[in-house]
Structure 1
Amino acid sequence: MFKKMTSALLVTALMSPMAAMAQTTGAPQPQAAGQAVVKTVAAVVQPADQVFTNAVVYTVDRNRNIAQAIAIRGGQIVYVGSDEGAKKFIGKTTKVTDLKGKMVLPGFIDSHTHASKTTGLIYSIDLFDGGSVEEYVATIKDFVKAHPNEETLQGRGWSNPVVPGIGPRKEALDEIDATTPIALTSDDGHSLWVNSAALKLAGITKDTKNPEGGIIERDPKTGEPSGTLREKAMDLVLKKIGGYTIQQYKSGIEEYQEKAVERGVTTVRDPDMLRYPNVLEAYEELAKENKLTIRFRNAVTANPDKGPEQVAEFVKIRERDHYPLFQVNAVKIFMDGVVEGATAYLEKPYEHKETNGELIWKVDNYNKTAAAADKAGFQLHVHSIGDASTRIALDGMEYAEKQNGAHDARHSLVHLQLVNPQDIERFKKLGAVGIVQPFWFMQEDGFYDEIEVPYLGQERAEKEYPMKSFLNQGVHIASSSDYIVTPEFNPLHGIQQGITRIAEGETDPSKIANPDERATLPDMIASFTIDGAYANHVEDITGSLEPGKKADLVVLDQNLFTTPATEIKDVKVLLTMVEGKEVYQAQKVEKK
């Protein structure tokens, strides 16, 4: 029953029933029964602070071992193994919890989430629940009535499929308030709906040229700005309107943390440092005040109007912000836009208009900035939707490697809606990481038939969002939500969507989105745990349940391997721990 090891460390193993691995999706069994090997940190056993027993502990370690028990001391895992072996760690003051067959996983990692944008949901107009311009207008009117003295009105959440083409018009907002500037960001964050007062504030007229990397949508008859701004054109208004205060951002981040731990999320990357005023300062204050409850490994946003000289500022930020739960270790690059705005940068033109989209960075400037960030030890964290954008992003990473030499950079590309198959091999060669949003892996109502097929054509639309192709090439793939673009960011929902790739309630097999790219359950769990840790350079402390790592874990009310794939999203998080601290508990579980 036990696998021998030439070590003084205590070695235990347990048998995991074959039935525990039954999965309707045909996911491979992570580890054969009787082969799970675990060890303690030291031969001399000291009592643990807490021990969980009688559980299905899916470790997500190198061998995908399954155990029964886990012991924690001083915020670290000191034992993973059998119930019998765990007895050595139980002392007079040890808190022992019988999980009665419930599942334990590493804490979930969301590798691209706009946590700080929760602030906007608190202090501005929330349009996410609207499904028409009329509903948006009604929501805005209610907000204006409740906030009659605002100098500007801001909000987020309108959807491009509701108003395709040139987007929503300024006239609808002018009828609400023609004198107070109104600026409303789309749900994907890449377009801005404004009224005439906002256009006037920014000095945008019929004669204003599109800024590089941006589009001012115009009335097709008059040429006047119609009320929608895309990509860098948004900044013309946003810079004039201003943002939220440090205290408001602190409140938003704290509210996000409450949402995160309820969903079992223990580590995230927020890529919005420096893109908006006061976000970085809010994180810094929360870190100093010990008010962070989950781990943040954030990214500063590089300005495409600047070059490699800006990296020196990023280094100073990284050096001063080195807290256990808050660090800045990446540089965010917006390489292109989004398909729904026809701003994602494609190898071939869009079907509905003569454009390949918008490349936000000049190639030479991107290459030099990428090389400078790489030399300074930062990860690149590149927003890339289109296939041409991804190729250029990879070219820049290759340029950086030639300039600085190969090293464990783990530069990442985020979203990857369309990817040339030839470039997937380059990810592996360059050691690049793909960060995807499995929540979007479906033929989504209102998007697929109304936006993606008409804009991209059927052939390209059918090849969206590859994942299994990356995994087959040995590329590390980390999952994320891109919250607040994805309002409900429960990783269990993302795991389900990555396996099924079909909309909830849909049974027609032809509605499976790019079915060859369906991942297995072990694939998806790894993408939200150990591969997410790898993507954020924290796999030495989290991402798997192994002795010596931080006790970041989540307890689920069901074993995912015996749960039908279409019901994974309904599994409940009962307990979330970060470094051994209980940061969320849904209900009391029996203690011995």
Structure 2
Amino acid sequence: MTTLIVTNGPIYTSDPERPWAEAFSVEDGRIGTVGTLDEVRSSVTADAGVVDLNGRFAMPGLVDVHAHLGLGGRQLAFELQVLPSDDVAAIAAKVRQWRAELEPGQWVVGGIVGSTVMDDLTHQDLLTLDDAAEGHPVLLRDDTMHNRWVNSAAFEILGITEGSPNPEGGTYVRDSDGLLNGVLTELACSAAEAAVLESIGDVANFHARAIGTAVQTLNSFGVTAVQESATMDYALTTLRVLDEAGELTAHVVASMPAQPFLEEGITGEELYRVGDANHTAHLHPTFAKYVLDGVPMTRTAALLTPYQCHHPGDDPTFTGEPLWGREELVASLLSLADRGLSAKLHATGDGAVRLILDAVETVRRERGWKTKFHIAHVEYVHDDDLARFAELQVVPDASPYLWFPSVMQESMAKQVSAETFERSWPLRRLIDSGAQVSCGSDWPCAAPTPDPWTGLATLITRANPDPAVTGELNPGEALSVEQAISAFTRNPAHAMGLGEVTGMLRPGMSADFIVLDRNLFSADPAHLHETTVLTTYFEGRLVHQT
């Protein structure tokens, strides 16, 4: 590999021991010397190349602690693009245009449908989707990725009728007249996703193109490390093959589902063994994925206080049900710790968050501190539980993309109590208590791309980048620029077990760095979402250039 000197612009290292540097060197894919230009020049050979920043801002490559590469890559490479702001008529028009290019009987697959649309779909809307599809089966994912909207042709393939009982762990949603509206929630989605995959001829090439597209897209936004947050066996195999071919241009930490999830396939111990067989230089199958509850929009999140009621016959004391009991969760996490794996645990309700913290407290007492625990997505955390994250060394995995410009907040506000909603995403207080807040996109949830700059900007502003959408979300929890950058660099790297590998520009670490069109510290926070990545380097190799 070429020896390089990077200089002639502000360099932010994200290293608390030396936050700023005049230059740094790259040798054999690693960071060499970091310091003044004279120090760096004297440490390398005379024929070293120079990356001239021309006054541009350089920093470490970003680390996305929560993304779904298979789903996100498929959406970009193959699928119909639907915006969360599209209403039923706009969605139907896009389906009609898309299916005109398909072979007879081919699935129309796409997303993302906004939660505000999913909230109010009726049987008539299902008929509208049928009319647009003209016999093609349709599967559209919502902005949480926990739910799907399908049409009657898909129901026929799946064997679902008006008389079908709900499957375990999911729902075939019906409108106020008791008729199917096409919405599938939670585990009801897995059979539909499996049916789509069964219709694809060369599925191995399909997965390779999807995941390859996902990694290239992450690089284009400056991301050089990512935690894949629901990693099935096909993704493990595909990532290994890409890495062995020299085409995996990011560090990837895999999170393997502990129990059946939204995609059909092996889970738990059987899947962990596949992970064992697929470790590579850049693929690290070191986490298991747990799902403790659903999402507030469908009233499947486990809360500490009752949901607001909007339908006749609703139970006014209903708080949602966790998917794990405490003793069952403790036993599973103890077994996981003994196996040497860590855990990423989905919990959108404050009740589910407390359940996890209680379980982790037992695991810490009985197994110590080696195992890493993440709670995603920390929308709602009770004040009494904030300090427990740092006390128990539990990582708050936050997805600021889910605030703005997503329509999710509007849907959540209809469901959770005002008191709970108003204390949402308490990230500043988590940081003040010593917690290692780490951010990710949760792509393709909420947004069509894993653009980190919208997320980073909203950490600082707590406001929608679109000036037409006024107001702020719990503005007292706003972060500083330095705190926001830490949440996208060294914090998630450490949380993922890569703290000695990436996330900082420090001697000996991977030469993962990016060059931007603006200095994040001097730019107007209201325009940080417009940041453009000019170049991305992974292990000292240029992998993206605007």
- TM-score by length of structure 2 reads 0.90
Q: Aligned partner of 1:524: which letter? A: A
Distance in 2 separating the partners of 1:554 and 1:177: 43
Q: Assess if the C-alpha contact under 8 Å between 1:111 and 1:268 holds in 2.
A: yes
Answer yes or no: is 1:394 the counterpart of 2:357: yes
Q: Assess if the C-alpha contact under 8 Å between 1:59 and 1:67 holds in 2.
A: yes
Is the deviation greater in 211-220 or in 331-340? Answer: 211-220
Q: What corresponds to 2:226 in structure 1?
A: 268
Q: Aligned partner of 2:395: which letter? A: V
Kindly state the Cα deviation for residue 467 of structure 1 after the two structures are TM-superposed.
0.5
Distance in 2 separating the partners of 1:451 and 1:281: 37
Distance in 2 separating the partners of 1:167 and 1:533: 44
Q: Assess if the C-alpha contact under 8 Å between 1:77 and 1:547 holds in 2.
A: yes
Q: What corresponds to 2:210 in structure 1?
A: 252
Kindly state the Cα deviation for residue 177 of structure 1 after the two structures are TM-superposed.
4.4
Kindly state the Cα deviation for residue 432 of structure 1 after the two structures are TM-superposed.
0.7
Q: State the secondary structure of the residue aligned to 2:352.
A: helix
Q: Assess if the C-alpha contact under 8 Å between 1:542 and 1:552 holds in 2.
A: yes
Q: What corresponds to 1:528 in structure 2?
A: 488
Q: Aligned partner of 1:145: which letter? A: A
Is the deviation greater in 169-178 or in 550-559? Answer: 169-178
Q: Aligned partner of 2:354: which letter? A: R
Q: What corresponds to 1:430 in structure 2?
A: 392
**Where does 1:506-521 land on structure 2 (aligned, <5 Å)?**
506=467, 511-521=471-481
Kindly state the Cα deviation for residue 192 of structure 1 after the two structures are TM-superposed.
1.3
Distance in 2 separating the partners of 1:375 and 1:483: 31
Q: What corresponds to 2:535 in structure 1?
A: 575
Distance in 1 separating the partners of 2:206 and 2:56: 38
**Where does 1:375-390 land on structure 2 (aligned, <5 Å)?**
375-390=338-353
Answer yes or no: is 1:103 the counterpart of 2:57: yes
Residue deviations 1:157-203 (CA, integer Å, cap 9, x gap): 11121242456742222223475432222122111112223223333
Distance in 2 separating the partners of 1:484 and 1:304: 20
Residue deviations 1:342-368 (CA, integer Å, cap 9, x gap): 222211221135332343334443332
Q: Assess if the C-alpha contact under 8 Å between 1:49 and 1:74 holds in 2.
A: yes
Q: Classify 1:560/1:121 alpha carbon distance in 2 versus 1 (closer, same or farther; 3 Å).
A: closer
Kindly state the Cα deviation for residue 472 of structure 1 after the two structures are TM-superposed.
0.6
Kindly state the Cα deviation for residue 499 of structure 1 after the two structures are TM-superposed.
0.4
Q: What corresponds to 2:188 in structure 1?
A: 233
Is the deviation greater in 309-318 or in 296-305? Answer: 309-318
Q: Classify 1:465/1:64 alpha carbon distance in 2 versus 1 (closer, same or farther; 3 Å).
A: farther
Q: Assess if the C-alpha contact under 8 Å between 2:9 and 2:56 holds in 1.
A: yes
Residue deviations 1:522-572 (CA, integer Å, cap 9, x gap): 101001000010111001111111111111111223222111211222333
Residue deviations 1:228-273 (CA, integer Å, cap 9, x gap): 1111122343344435512111111211222212211100011232
Kindly state the Cα deviation for residue 93 of structure 1 after the two structures are TM-superposed.
2.0
Q: Aligned partner of 1:321: which letter? A: N
Q: What corresponds to 1:16 in structure 2?
A: none
Q: State the secondary structure of the residue aligned to 2:329.
A: helix
Count of paired positions: 530
Q: Assess if the C-alpha contact under 8 Å between 1:371 and 1:396 holds in 2.
A: no
Q: What corresponds to 2:412 in structure 1?
A: 452
Q: Aligned partner of 1:296: which letter? A: V
Q: Assess if the C-alpha contact under 8 Å between 1:128 and 1:187 holds in 2.
A: no
Q: Classify 1:130/1:507 alpha carbon distance in 2 versus 1 (closer, same or farther; 3 Å).
A: closer
Distance in 2 separating the partners of 1:200 and 1:584: 44
**Where does 1:108-123 land on structure 2 (aligned, <5 Å)?**
108-117=62-71, 118-123=73-78
Q: Assess if the C-alpha contact under 8 Å between 1:71 and 1:86 holds in 2.
A: yes
**Where does 1:405-484 land on structure 2 (aligned, <5 Å)?**
405-442=367-404, 446-448=407-409, 450-484=410-444
Q: Assess if the C-alpha contact under 8 Å between 2:84 and 2:406 holds in 1.
A: no
Distance in 2 separating the partners of 1:122 and 1:470: 37
Q: State the secondary structure of the residue aligned to 1:482.
A: coil
Structure 2, unpaired ranges of 5+:
none
Q: What corresponds to 1:202 in structure 2?
A: 158
Residue deviations 1:479-508 (CA, integer Å, cap 9, x gap): 111111222333232221100001124499
Answer yes or no: is 1:542 the counterpart of 2:502: yes
Q: Aligned partner of 1:557: which letter? A: D
Answer yes or no: is 1:344 the counterpart of 2:301: yes
Distance in 2 separating the partners of 1:531 and 1:217: 40
Q: Classify 1:311/1:133 alpha carbon distance in 2 versus 1 (closer, same or farther; 3 Å).
A: closer
Q: Aligned partner of 1:110: which letter? A: D
Q: Classify 1:236/1:550 alpha carbon distance in 2 versus 1 (closer, same or farther; 3 Å).
A: closer
Q: State the secondary structure of the residue aligned to 1:560.
A: coil
Kindly state the Cα deviation for residue 435 of structure 1 after the two structures are TM-superposed.
0.8
Q: Aligned partner of 1:378: which letter? A: L
Q: What corresponds to 2:172 in structure 1?
A: 216
Distance in 2 separating the partners of 1:201 and 1:96: 59
Structure 1, unpaired ranges of 5+:
1-46, 587-592
CA RMSD of aligned residues (A): 2.5
Kindly state the Cα deviation for residue 446 of structure 1 after the two structures are TM-superposed.
4.3
Q: Assess if the C-alpha contact under 8 Å between 1:70 and 1:77 holds in 2.
A: yes
Is the deviation greater in 258-267 or in 209-218? Answer: 209-218
Distance in 1 separating the partners of 2:289 and 2:189: 18
Q: State the secondary structure of the residue aligned to 1:562.
A: coil
Q: What corresponds to 2:40 in structure 1?
A: 86
Kindly state the Cα deviation for residue 517 of structure 1 after the two structures are TM-superposed.
0.6
1:322 corresponds to which of 279, 289, 293? 279
Distance in 2 separating the partners of 1:431 and 1:315: 24
Q: Aligned partner of 2:5: which letter? A: V
1:280 corresponds to which of 228, 236, 248? 236
Is the deviation greater in 244-253 or in 362-371? Answer: 362-371
Q: State the secondary structure of the residue aligned to 1:269.
A: strand
Q: Aligned partner of 2:490: which letter? A: I
Q: Classify 1:199/1:349 alpha carbon distance in 2 versus 1 (closer, same or farther; 3 Å).
A: farther
- TM-score by length of structure 1 reads 0.84
Q: Assess if the C-alpha contact under 8 Å between 1:107 and 1:576 holds in 2.
A: yes
Kindly state the Cα deviation for residue 445 of structure 1 after the two structures are TM-superposed.
7.2
Distance in 1 separating the partners of 2:156 and 2:321: 25
Distance in 2 separating the partners of 1:416 and 1:93: 50
Q: What corresponds to 1:43 in structure 2?
A: none
Q: State the secondary structure of the residue aligned to 1:569.
A: helix
Residue deviations 1:286-323 (CA, integer Å, cap 9, x gap): 12222111111111112159xxx964324422322221
